[in-house]
Amino acid sequence: MSSSRRARPRHLASSPFKPEPELVVEVFEVDDRVSHDTHGLGRVVAVDPVCVTVDFGDRNVRVAPPFAKMSKL
């Protein structure tokens, strides 16, 4: 059985390199105002376990996590 998530390598205290920062996935709710780097300003209209649907005025776009280009206003 394989996992879809990549296993994080263990960071040793004696390592001269900094550990990779934890990936924070933002949580969106219906009616949240958002800003997307490509599509602009929008409003969340639906939240599914796999994606968020955002109304950007002229079109609805489904955005999948980790929402790298989208932030809550």
The whole-number average pLDDT for the span 3-32 is: 79
Distances 69 to 2, 40, 56, 63 between C-alpha atoms, Å: 28, 10, 14, 9
Q: Distance (Å, rounded) from C-alpha 71 to C-alpha 10?
A: 30
- Does 59 score more than 80 pLDDT? yes
pTM for this predicted structure:
0.68
pLDDT band at residue 42, thresholds of 50, 70 and 90? Answer: very high
Q: Which of 26, 32, 14, 31 is nearest to 64 (CA)?
A: 26
Helical (H) or strand (E) element with 24: none
Is the model more confident about 24 or about 15? Answer: 15
What ranges do the domains of the chain cover?
A: 33-72
